[in-house]
Every structure is written in structure tokens, then in C-alpha cells.
Amino acid sequence: MELRNIHENRNIIEKVVEGSIADELEIEPGDVLVSINGSNVKDIIDYKFLISDEYIEVEIEKKDGEIWELEIEKEFDEDLGIEFTNPLIDKARSCRNKCIFCFIDQLPPNMRETLYFKDDDSRLSFLQGNFVTLTNMTDEEIDRIIAYRLSPINVSVHTTNPDLRVKMLNNKNAGKIFPILKRFKEANLTVNCQIVLVPRVNDGKELERTLEDLSSLYPSVKSVAVVPVGVTKYREKLYKLKPFNKEESKEVLSLIEREQNKFLEHMGTRFVFASDEFYAMTNKKLPSYEAYEGFTQLENGVGLMKSFEYEVDMELEKLGNNVELNKKYIIATGTLAKDFMDRIKDKTMKKIRNLNLNVIAIENDFFGRTITVSGLITGQDIISQLEGLKNVDGIIIPKSMLRKDSDVFLDDLTIKDIENRLMVKIIPVEVSGKKFINLFRKS
């Protein structure tokens, strides 16, 4: 019983993929993975490492307590097809930094407790693509990443200047990032980097230096995304910083474009990419589709607008010329994407007769009006700013306004709550041009 309890905290199987090795062996949800090749499975990294073989011995404890010893022959890289109740198998590791720009420190009080959890767990980087600072890792743990060849890894670098990184992350261990990345390069691991840019802290000359250092690690360091710091109205007693204004954003873009041209000439890749926010803030024309080189940093908001518009154009072209839809929709967006969505609206309405779209930019009163992205708009701001709407067939919102795989906004209001208040249907749509145009096909 005691043994079972230990397992219940750790590697209980939650899901078995249909047709997988585990499915064929009749492993079921609720079973416990006890060991692989006689070794306990400490965490997801161990698991991935231990199953990477053509022959493995797996011990499973069935729900009734029976122990199965299974001998499995498989392709080297083939997965067993099981998912665990706790995807990490172990507890998520929290961060040891106190970054001057941390968004979690700027959250309003009384939000859902899980939102205040600061994770900085390299295992989540491999599993879910989270960006990690690597400041809470021992040398042994770095060795393990290298030995297990875990890659790609997403790293929040911010700066390669050791003193500045210590200051920005408020962590005396933060200065060692470059030597760690160098070790990853020697081991041929792939790394994608992120820089949260803070005006007058790590921009200008410091940004140039960081890009220069990181480019020396190419192709191991594959790409760098530069995103502007987000500043909410809850910064009392925190480091004094301000968001980028239009002029400063223009300077950032010229610096990045200059560096891109240099890298393109010497390395054959633009290597560094500015997030969409910089383009939206300056009303500067977005780079071409090709200039995003495969959109490796979409999660960082790099190229989302371009890929969305590209898909919209493709889908509109496929629609043909005789399309009509007698409907009226509101598109709710953050203030940053207003002009962009107006452009999308215009081309869509031009193609689909009688379709009436109206883009409304929602000001972010919940976090403060300096927050302009759609993904941080809350239900209460939608209600207060769209109350009284009449004669519309629905309000289209990007799914990024909702918590992952749910219908809940950041302030815990649900789609139903908003529909009940506004008496209008809410239509969440993925940030995909194809899905957006599909809305008007299906209606």
C-alpha cells in the first residue's frame, strides 16, 4: 500500500495512445510504470532516455497490484505511447530569479493561485517548449541534458553580459549563461533563444553584444527572438521600468534589421527576429513571409501576424468570386492588433458580399492600458467595453484570450458568463488565417 502511494505521486499512466506499443501490450490508464531496465524513473528526462533503445525491459504495476514484467523490442526512437498523470513525473521546479521585468510579479492580487507559480524547469522546455533561464541547474544537471542529448532547448538569455544578466535576473548564478551555451554547442544541441528587451537596460549596444555572442554559437543556437517587456499597472515597489514607445521601437527594429542583413550575408540566416509587437507599435510593414525562415519562434509572437495574413490571403483566393454571407460580426482584439485586423477585415469583406465585420480594440483596464496584446484581454474588459451591442451575430475573439484548452479567461470569467451578460454569441477562433476564414464558410 505504501509503495503504491509513492507511485501515485509519481508515474501513474493517464493515457495510452491507441495502436501504440503500450496499447498492444494491454497497458492501461491507471497502471503504474515501476521501472525500465531495472532503473527507477526519476523524471521525464530519465524516461525518455531509458526508452531510447531497441530492447527494453519494463515493469508495470497493474491497478490490482499485479506486477507485469514486459520485454519490448522496438525501433530505437519509438515511443511507448504512454502519458503520465504528472507529465514531468517529478515536481515542477520553480525559478530562483527575481527578474526586474517578471510579468508574474506584476499580476494583480487575488488571481487564481496557479498563475503566480514561477516555473523555470528545463524539463518543461523539452516537453512544452517553455523558455528557461538555466540558473537553477547544477553542473550535474547540465551534464545530464548533454548526456541525454535533450534538444531543442528554449533558453531565456536576455543578455550575455554576465554582470547585466545577474542584475536583470537578480540572481548571482545568472552570469554563467554563455559558458553553458558553449557546452551545448560542443555537444551539438539545438537551442532557441529569447531576449526580453527592456528600454535602456539590455537594448542598444548591449543587444548588439548579445547578438554577436549568440551568433558565434550558430548553428547550435538556431534563432533568437526579441520581445518587448510587458509593463502592467501593478509595479509598486518593483524596479522602475517603462514600456517601449514608438520611437524606441523603431530604433530596435533598425538595429535588428541591420544585424539580420549582416547575419544573412555571413551565415545564410537572419538568425534574429523581432516580435510582431515591435512592428505593430511602429506601424512598420511586416517582413515578407520568407523572411521569417520557417517561423521557428511563433510561440514568442514572431511572425504570427504574417502567417495569419498569408493564410487569409490563400483562403480568400480559394473561395472564388461568388461568395455571399448575410451576417454581422464584431472582432474583439487588443489595441496593438487593431490596424492589422482592420486590414484583414477589409480584404475579407471585399471578397464576401454582405458580410459585415467590425474590429473593436479592447483597452486592457485589468492589467493597465500599457498592455496591448490580445492574449491578455480579460472577460471583464470585454463585458464593460462591448455592453449594449445590438444586432450582431457574434463576437469573434482569438483563442489566445482563453486559458489553454478551456473556455476560461485570465480573470476566471467563462465564455458562458460573457454570453449571458452581453446576450451575444462568443466565437473563439485559433490564431490561424485558415480557421478565421472558415468561420465565414460554415456560418
Point out which residues bind ligand SF4 (CB under 6 A): 95, 97-99, 102, 104, 118, 120, 133
**What letter would DSSP give residue 176?**
G
Closest approach, Cβ 131 to ligand SF4, in A, equals 8
- Distance in angstroms (rounded) separating the CA atoms of residues 263 and 272: 8
Closer CB to ligand SF4, 102 or 305, in the complex: 102
Please name the residues in contact with 96: beta carbons below 8 A apart, sequence gap of 6 or more. 120, 135, 136, 171, 173
DSSP 383-398: HHHHTT--S-SEEEEE
Closest approach, Cβ 133 to ligand SF4, in A, equals 5
- Distance in angstroms (rounded) separating the CA atoms of residues 124 and 384: 36
Closest approach, Cβ 23 to ligand SF4, in A, equals 38
Closer CB to ligand SF4, 7 or 98, in the complex: 98
Measured between alpha carbons, how far is residue 392 from residues 62, 174, 335, 362, 389 in Å? 55, 52, 21, 17, 7
Closer CB to ligand SF4, 95 or 180, in the complex: 95
Closer CB to ligand SF4, 133 or 378, in the complex: 133
Closer CB to ligand SF4, 102 or 426, in the complex: 102
Closer CB to ligand SF4, 88 or 395, in the complex: 88
Closer CB to ligand SF4, 95 or 253, in the complex: 95
Please name the residues in contact with 422: beta carbons below 8 A apart, sequence gap of 6 or more. 382, 383, 386, 387, 389, 395
Closest approach, Cβ 304 to ligand SF4, in A, equals 21
H-state helical runs in 287-432 = 304-319, 338-351, 379-386, 415-422
Residue 101 CB neighbours (<10 A): 21
Closer CB to ligand SF4, 120 or 315, in the complex: 120
- Distance in angstroms (rounded) separating the CA atoms of residues 205 and 258: 13
Closer CB to ligand SF4, 118 or 209, in the complex: 118
**What letter would DSSP give residue 12?**
B
Closest approach, Cβ 217 to ligand SF4, in A, equals 21
Closest approach, Cβ 278 to ligand SF4, in A, equals 20
Closest approach, Cβ 166 to ligand SF4, in A, equals 13
| Element (DSSP H or E) covering residue 146 | helix 139-147
Amino acid at position 14, single letter: E
Closest approach, Cβ 136 to ligand SF4, in A, equals 9
CB 20 within 8 A of CB 79: yes
- Tracing cell 485589468 back to the chain, one arrives at 366
Closest approach, Cβ 195 to ligand SF4, in A, equals 12
Closest approach, Cβ 157 to ligand SF4, in A, equals 12
- Tracing cell 496584446 back to the chain, one arrives at 373
Closest approach, Cβ 104 to ligand SF4, in A, equals 5
Please name the residues in contact with 427: beta carbons below 8 A apart, sequence gap of 6 or more. 329, 394, 395, 396, 397, 439
Beta strands in 122-236 (DSSP E): 153-156, 191-197, 221-228
- Distance in angstroms (rounded) separating the CA atoms of residues 107 and 115: 9
Amino acid at position 101, single letter: F
**Which residue, among 241, 240, 260, 263, has the nearest Cα to 252 in the 3D structure?**
260
Closer CB to ligand SF4, 41 or 180, in the complex: 180
Closer CB to ligand SF4, 159 or 282, in the complex: 159
